[in-house]
Amino acid sequence: MTLSLRLALIASTAFVALTPALGSTMPQTQTSPAPAAAPDPTPLLAKWPGPHEGVPQWDKVAPAMFPPAFERAMANARAEMARIRDNPAAPTFENTIQADQRSGEEMERLFAVWGVYQSNLATPEVQAIAKEWSPRLSAFFTEMSLDPKMFARVKAIYDARAKAGLNPQQLRLLERTYRDYVTSGALLDEAGKAEVKRINQALATAYTEFSRKVLADEETAILLDSEADLAGLADSFKASLAEEAKARGQAGKWAIKNTRSSVQPFLMYSTNRALREKVYKAFVNRGDNGDANDTNATIAEILKLRQERARLLGFKNHAWYRMDDTMAETPENASKLMMAVWPAAVARVREEVADMQALANKEGAKITIEPWDYRFYAEKVRKAKYDLDENEVKPYLQLDQIVQAAFHAAGRLYDLDFKENTGSIPVFQPDVRTFLVTSRKTGAEVGIFYLDNFARAGKRSGAWATSYRSRSGLRGTDIVLASNNNNFTKGAAGEPTLISVDDATTLFHEFGHALHSLLGNVFYPGLAGTPRDFVEYPSQVNENWLLTPEVLNLYAKHYKTGAPIPPALVAKIEKAETFNQGFDTVEYLSSAIVDMKLHDRTEPVTDPDAFERETLASIGMPREIVMRHRLPQFNHLFSSDAYSAGYYSYLWSETMDADTWAAFEETGNVWDKATADRFRTILLMTGNETDRKQAYRVFRGRDPDVKALFKRRGFPVQ
């Protein structure tokens, strides 16, 4: 991967996938005195000082530094490329490809910090900078990726590769570098290149606009005036709603923020059906209210631009363009897997709805199950079938203890130790915790782990992992800087934060991404990233250890008494593991299927709402469930290219994940060290140095067996 493409990937994460909204609080343009001199951007560009091979100096950064930093970083990146491109010596792997791999560290540091400001610290000032700079940076990265003289050097090396004496990693890097140039448009004429630049700039602007609108809707909340409206909710959750209202200047009331972390527990436990419907509709209609924050026109523009670019670059459509370098390889292969699972999932939903309707009828509710009833009655069925109540489990799931549980599992499996730092490392927000990661075997420092757990204003919704610095043999960097970012609702003052099983699973999932980063050990930076449909695999594998007896017995302790979770309750959890899998699968898979059908077509969709409805009807979507991400708020697809025509990747990765967990189970010990060592050395450490399909075959001795996925979800094995 070239400097320009590597940096463009970083930029797309910082500016697009993580772009928050430009809110109504943005200051209006006014006549003002001449602006002061731009602040010195050095803290954003200089090598990070301090121990641990240097760490970001968050305490020395101000948003106003970013524009001059972007200017200087672009100039320096152009100069770096010019030194490689204009080298009078004949192009070789060492003076071109390897030299390119050594470059770009300054801008990588800049975007590591900018990504955090965009996703975790999105003040109106930061949002305004994003709006101005995303198209400008897109133009810069397109310019770099289409430089004809640089491409000529790469092509000369590529054409002579058979006689170059390259090792397997060098040959793989060369081939991928050439492929990246070509799929960026390097073979186009000047008019074609200009068109690619135009499209990429327009997309960058549209992605920012989409994210702005969605976050604006997510910043809204439904205020409750009466405590009677909180019937059915746990005390800890009610306290968090009161804290949210207080933060909005509405002390004495309760606020349900329009984000999943607030809406989902409300839908599960509120006994007020009318309020459940109101909260549900506000949530599922984010970006789809026909107002200033409606995203449908923005989506249509994105789809048009994507199809134009795909055709220009020689692809049938955007799905083929995005899947050019994936494990699935073609839209057909991805769709085949999804449609193999879909019928069983829908059949299970029918069973789940029948169980819920029977229970509602027995209670004399006189209702037909609607989408805003699903989670509520599912909990009732769980209680009736398995004598398991989520509220019975939650007191044993203290956030701090589950963090320690994740660390414990990493120690058992990968010989890593995590020790919390106490103020020696700058952080970007007081709630952020940092941990020194060391090897139990050697005592050597492995990395620093940053943990930002709580939801707050200016932080995008969801959960994600990032790395501020990766390990690279070429660059001599050994200490990884990895981060996890969650949106848990903080407990009331003086009280611990209690989380649900779903939240605990999310924590283990994101920590699996962090472990992938911490254990990665590639020589060339351009081989560190993996295909999109492999990325979620390590994180999904890591989820499996959460509900193991060892983890629960050690870390699931009652927040008041300190008593370990009762064995009888653990048995209930295990017995109910396949409960509600129809809902979970259909909610996700409908989103993935709609994504693929939306992008695997040559005529761009112009009415996203109609397309969504018609596609769901055509595949038999149960009326009682809504997509996990409806198109008007589907950030995975429309805040960047990242998961577009790629949301299937969670299922693709889970197929490998379920088969990998089966490998551990087959040993008779899910903590089997030999299996963990093979998983680490073959799949986690190696980045993309080898083909990921082949790497999996080396690990498992064969391709993944989809039967393990069906067994896990409790579906009849096909």
Structure tokens at 32: 């003002």
What span, in angstroms and rounded, lies between the C-alpha atoms of 640 and 649? 16
Burial 577-610 (b: 16+ CB within 10 A, else e): eebbbbbbbbbbbbbbbbbbbbbbbeebbeebee
| DSSP string for 390-423 | HHHHGGG-BHHHHHHHHHHHHHHHH-EEEEE--S
Residue 256, strand partner residues: 222
Structure tokens at 73: 């970083």
Helix 399-414 and helix 501-519: axis angle, to 10°?
40
3-state SS of the chain: helix, strand, coil percent to 5? 60, 5, 35
Structure tokens at 198: 């135009």
Distance of CA 420 to the CA centre of its chain: 25
> Assign residue 282 a region: left if phi > 0, alpha if psi is -120 to 50, beta otherwise?
alpha
What span, in angstroms and rounded, lies between the C-alpha atoms of 455 and 487? 4
Are 686 and 638 spatial neighbours (Cβ–Cβ below 8 Å)? no
Query: DSSP code of 31?
Result: -
Residue with tokens 């990504």: 115
- Indicate which residues carry an active-site annotation: 510
- 3-class DSSP state of 451: strand
Are 1 and 176 spatial neighbours (Cβ–Cβ below 8 Å)? yes
| Terminal-residue alpha carbon distance, the chain | 40
Burial group, residue 86, by CB count within 10 angstroms (0-12, 13-18, 19+): exposed
Residue 417, strand partner residues: 438
Burial 16-52 (b: 16+ CB within 10 A, else e): bbbbbbbbeeeeeeeeeeeeeeebebebbbeebeeeb
Are 379 and 385 spatial neighbours (Cβ–Cβ below 8 Å)? no
What span, in angstroms and rounded, lies between the C-alpha atoms of 712 and 154? 46
**614 residue type, one letter:** E
